[in-house]
Amino acid sequence: TMLTIIQLMLLVFLTNPNHAEKLFHNRDHSDMQIPTSHQAPVITDEYEAELFLSRYGFIKPTQREEIQMKQSGISFSDDFLDDFQTAIQEGTSVPLSRDIPKTSHGEVHKSESESQAFVSALKEFQMASGLPVTGVFDDATKDAMNKPRCGVPDKETDPNPHVVTESHIGGSELENSWNETFDEADGNNTESSINRRGHLADLVSKKRQKRDLTESGYMAFSKDVLRWRLIGEGYSSQLTVDEQRYIFRLAFRMWSEVSPLEFVEDTWSPLEDVDIKLGFGTGRHLGCNQKFDGTGQEFAHAWFLGDIHFDDDEHFTGPSSHTGISLLKVAVHEIGHVLGLPHIYRPGSIMQPSYLPHESSFEMDWMDRKAIQHLYAGGCKGRFSTVFDWIRKEKTPYGDVKIRFNTYFMRDGWYWLYENRNNRTRYGDPVALQIGWHGIPSDGVDAYVHVWSRRREAVYFFKGLQFWRYDSENDRVFRHDSEGRRYPRLISEGFPGIPSPIDSAFYDRRDSHIYFFRRAQVYAFSVETNSLASGFPKHIRDVFPPVESGDHPDGSIDAAYFSYSHNALFLLKGTRFWRVVGSRERWRRPFLPRNGLMPHKEVDQQWFDICDVHPTSLKL
């Protein structure tokens, strides 16, 4: 009898090969064919439409659905991940049972209240999708429902009354999907239950990262450095492992570039110590309590402060591909969910639920940046060693000479190019100094000075006891000066009377003096006479008095920066800056002192998104 049962099971297995996941493919994937059984069901009628609306939170579960679930005889007590349900539970909506009677036209028999709820949900979906709001299941609505999309519900009932469900960030309402409970998974699992579940149970953290509430009441990670891993059991069958890891590193870096968070790929720690785990699977996958639907529609799902799963039946491609679904764009979207962002129905947002074909250079827009910063203590803060506008001459295709400038912030051997017209850093920054600035110290500089007068123009970098002259036309340091003396040279030789090292410096075109800062002293150096100006050094408060008593950096500034964009001089120290009163401002307000320092402001409120990334991802 036992042999007969085994033979029967073997026969069923052999005659149903599509139910098993293929473990190996040809190296070039030429043998990969997606069977029709792995195609997501197409939404064609109101019945499937109602399932869709229920699945993604537009229709709340009804009492009838709950009764049918109880009467179905389905028990989850034998589920090998039942102890982890609290940790991986995504939402509270319950899909309609497929046992609901349908008419010959595919329509569902509904009560009047249910029909009204369906129409209302349909209108809400149409409005969110930018469709004509008709309440009718028309072709446009059908097409929108069949588009590839994220598996995270757009709207969910929040079981935790302490979680705020709406937000207004920059005048744009975030969708009410802030929907995670704060219950921890039960850590009191017995050894036998762990063994019974096998290695798949390890794919879900038994000790979930502590949920935290921000001051505004939203969920966020309680630390700034987060660890992630592409789990070995969840590699994609369509891209090489190196390609997958590179894409995920880039996706995490894109969030790090616009937030105070840093991400590090962790391939060595115990799995339960990893904050975010990523993996690919098909159908029932990775011990997850949600099933993927095959090719089309849902391509991934994620949990707030949790993990990310990708449907390997989808045709994921790399960033440079113009076909398939961009794994980078999907990963950036799902990471946004893990960090706490809901779906956002706004053109251009990376958090839109439906996948939109894109150019390879997609980036997060202003509102997405502000949304993540709202969750994580505002903008990025930190002190800078040097800030300056690099001015250079460029020839147009017609031979005309144009004078252009770019703004640079430098710190710890890395720099950001700041785009003043866009109020943000250049996409992909920071970059290593040695890549963009050839010949200056790779670990950073103390000051930048651009001497610019009718008779002379020179650019200098200062570091420690030395200085370099920079050739802006050829974008590298000069090897030697006009008299054959090699760079770098000693500051004491090139600028007699100036001590070293210095804190910062700038050139004032009004009087042709370089102002050097060292601790609480200011040294004015005459470019014309190549000597220290009479009466200097002076105390910094005597040269730059406070407009408001007590509001002053009091020496040891980090950077003195003249901005051509703002036509103003700024002194930076720590995370603050002080704007220096200009000549025109004194003409309008003569009571202001010469070179007075206006009350301080925060650097990140004037120059946005100058964010660090983890050292392991700096070279991407």
Within 13 A of 438's CA, how many CA atoms are on the CB side?
9
- Are residues 321 and 400 part of one domain? no
Confidence (pLDDT) at 148? 63
Which of 523, 524, 497, 502 has the alpha carbon at shortest distance from 513? 524
On whether the pTM is more than 0.75, the answer is no
CA dist list (Å): 43 to 2, 53, 94, 324: 44, 11, 18, 21
Distance CA 510, CA 489 (A): 27
- Are residues 413 and 472 part of one domain? yes
Residue type, 556: S
Last residue of a domain, one of 345, 375, 405: 375
The three-state DSSP-derived secondary structure of 34-94 is CCHHHECCCCCCHHHHHHHHHHCCCCCCCHHHHHHHHHCCCCCCCCCCHHHHHHHCCCCCC
- Are residues 474 and 340 part of one domain? no
- Are residues 429 and 339 part of one domain? no
Residue type, 336: G
Distance CA 119, CA 49 (A): 11
Distance CA 91, CA 84 (A): 14
Catalytic sites, residue numbers: 334
Burial class (CB within 10 angstroms; exposed 0-12, middle 13-18, buried 19+) of 403 = exposed
Residue 309, annotated ligand binder? yes
- Are residues 532 and 598 part of one domain? yes
267-304 residues labelled b (16+ CB within 10 A) or e (exposed): eeeeeeebbbbbbbbbbebbbbebebbbbbbbbbbbbb
In a domain, 137, yes or no: no
Residue 311, annotated ligand binder? yes
- Are residues 353 and 260 part of one domain? yes
The three-state DSSP-derived secondary structure of 106-160 is CCECCCHHHHHHHHHHHHHHHHHCCCCCCCCCCHHHHHHHCCCEECCCCCCCCCC
Mean per-residue pLDDT over the chain, rounded: 77
Confidence (pLDDT) at 199? 34
Q: Which domain holds residue 440?
A: 386-617
- Are residues 590 and 471 part of one domain? yes
Q: Per the structure, how many domains does the chain have?
A: 2
In a domain, 124, yes or no: no
Reported as a single tens digit per residue, the pLDDT across 127-179 is 777 778 788 888 888 777 776 666 667 665 443 333 222 233 333 334 433 33
Low-confidence ranges of the chain (pLDDT < 70): 1-41, 52, 55, 57, 60-114, 147-152, 154-218, 358-360
Reported as a single tens digit per residue, the pLDDT across 349-370 is 999 888 877 666 788 999 999 9
Place of tokens 């949900």: 121
Confidence (pLDDT) at 344? 87
Q: What angle do the packed helices 241-256 and 327-339 form, to 10 degrees?
A: 50
CA dist list (Å): 561 to 410, 414, 430, 501: 12, 18, 19, 18
Residue type, 403: I
CATH (domain of 471): 2.110.10.10
In a domain, 463, yes or no: yes
| Residue 382 structure tokens | 């930190």
In a domain, 62, yes or no: no
Distance CA 336, CA 343 (A): 9
| Dihedral angle sign, alpha carbons of residues 235, 237, 240, 244 | negative
In a domain, 8, yes or no: no
In a domain, 43, yes or no: no
In a domain, 209, yes or no: yes
CATH (domain of 330): 3.40.390.10
Confidence (pLDDT) at 149? 60
Residue 343, annotated ligand binder? yes
Residue 294, annotated ligand binder? yes
In a domain, 565, yes or no: yes
